[in-house]
A = this chain, B = another copy of it.
Amino acid sequence: MKYTKKQRQEKLQNKIIENPFITDEDLADFFSVSVQTIRLDRLALSIPELRERIKHVAREHLDDVKALPEEEVIGEIIDLQLDKEAISLLDIKKEHVFSRTGIARGHYLFAQANSLAVAIIDEKMALTAKASVHFHRRVKEGERVIAKAEVKGTKDGKTIVHVVSNVKEEMVFYGEFSMYRSGK
């Protein structure tokens, strides 16, 4: 025999993670055992059946795509006084960090700050013209970044917004954004 029960079950788990769309029959072929054995294995490992697996993957996706366009903002806005100040919150998760180091990629902090700068403008449309940003400290997975934006005034039609992002009491990011606004 090729594998012991334990070995097979380990491999099985990997196989299914790798390709959640595989049927018991295909697995049975692959391991040269009967379908029933595969089913006992899944039962033992509490791996749900193909359809449930697919459903699960699909639901995750649906949550993703629903979460994004709903709020065209990176991070969750928790306070917003138009043309004055705004605060948003971003929890740094796996998808935001370099997988090797666990350090957040700069453009997510930028994105949080930038989209907050867009949101704060009391206009149907706002676009970033210029930005000058500083990354003060690396942010790690699991940390919560709170960005605070403040409108500093207007200079030749462009609104200047300052954004300071903190993790707890520590400043991790600072940016100055110069925003076009659609208003006449």
**Interface residue tally for chain A (C-beta within 8 Å):** 42
Q: Is the CB of A58 within 8 A of B130?
A: no
**A54-B55, A100-B125, A111-B111 provided; 13 other pairs, C-beta below 8 A?**
A21-B59, A64-B64, A68-B95, A72-B98, A105-B115, A107-B114, A110-B114, A110-B131, A127-B138, A129-B134, A130-B132, A131-B133, A131-B135
Chain A 86-129, CB-CB to B under 8 Å as 1, else 0, gives 00000000010011110101110011001100100000110111
Stoichiometry (number of copies): 2
Convert A53-75 into 0s and 1s, putting 1 for each residue whose CB lies closer than 8 angstroms to a CB of B: 01101111110100011001010
Check if A51 is an interface residue, CB within 8 A of chain B.
Answer: yes
How many angstroms between the C-alpha atoms of A20 and B54 in the bound complex?
Answer: 13
Residue with the greatest number of chain B CB neighbours at <10 A, chosen from A21, A69, A72, A106: A106
